[in-house]
Structures are given as C-alpha cells and as structure tokens.
Structure 1
C-alpha cells in the first residue's frame, strides 16, 4: 500500500509528502481530495490563499534517540551526512 502524509496548518499551508516516484496525475487527484476536505463548497476565493508544499518522501538515513542524543543502532543506511 502506498500512502501519502497530509499536514494542514492554521497558517493555510498544506504539506503533502508522497512516496518516491508518485506521478503528477496522482498528486493532482490528491490535491482535489484535500481541497474537498478543507472546504467542501470549493469557493475559489477561499481557496486562493491555500499553499501546497509537495515533496517526495526521503529514505530514512538514521534514527536518533532524542533523550540520549545518540543514533539508534542498526538504523544507519548508506552514507551519513557529515562523514
């Protein structure tokens, strides 16, 4: 199952994170779905200020335990930035 993350902020921005390789046609359909949930009536004046930030999901490079400020063993993949 492919999934997308949709985050809607009170500042009127919608952040869409889609899996790598997602086609623009799928993103357009996703935008329509999100708009219908934000404003079901679809008033263009109300929707003119909605900003969409669309990005592809990044591969997990590593996970960090924030309490210990240490990398979690076994989660580092590929080259770690800064090394």
Structure 2
C-alpha cells in the first residue's frame, strides 16, 4: 500500500510527503481531497492562501527517543 503523509500547521501551510514516483495527476487529486478536509465549505477566495509544500518521502533511517535523546535501536537495525 502506498501512503502519503499530510500535515496541516497553524500557519496555513500543508506539507505533503508522497512516495517516490507519485504522478502529478495523483497530487492534484490529493490536493483537492486535502482542501475538502481542511475547509469543506470554503470558497476559492477562502482557500487561495493555502500553501502546499510537496516532497517525496525519505526512507526512515533512524528514529530518536526525544526524552532520552537516544536512537531507538530496533528501527535502526532494520535499515542497515
């Protein structure tokens, strides 16, 4: 299953992380779906200021436990 990560911040920016090889056609459909989730009744004028940052997902190399400031070992070992 291919998945995209969608993050919406207080600053009105939407960050989309999509798998490598995602086509522009898929991005436009995703953008439309995301806008409907953010503001289902919004008019074009209301949504014209929404900024989309689109990037390809990076492979997870390591995860860090922020409380301990340590690498989570089981994740790092699976990507070697």
Unpaired runs of 5+ in structure 1? Answer: 79-83
TM value normalised by structure 2: 0.79
Separation of aligned partners in 2, 1:73 and 1:8: 30
CA distance in 2, matches of 1:39, 1:73: 40
Higher Cα Rg, which structure: 1
Aligned length: 78
Q: Which portions of structure 1, spanning 4 or more consecutive aligned residues, are displaced by more than 6 angstroms?
A: none
Q: Which runs of 5+ in 2 are unaligned?
A: none
The whole-number CA distance in structure 2 between the counterparts of 1:68 and 1:8 is 27
Q: Tell me the equivalent position of 1:81.
A: none
Alignment of 1:1-83 (within 5 A): 1-74=1-74, 75=76, 77=79
RMSD of aligned alpha carbons: 1.8
Q: Which structure carries more helix by proportion?
A: 2
- Which deviates more, 62-71 or 25-34? 62-71
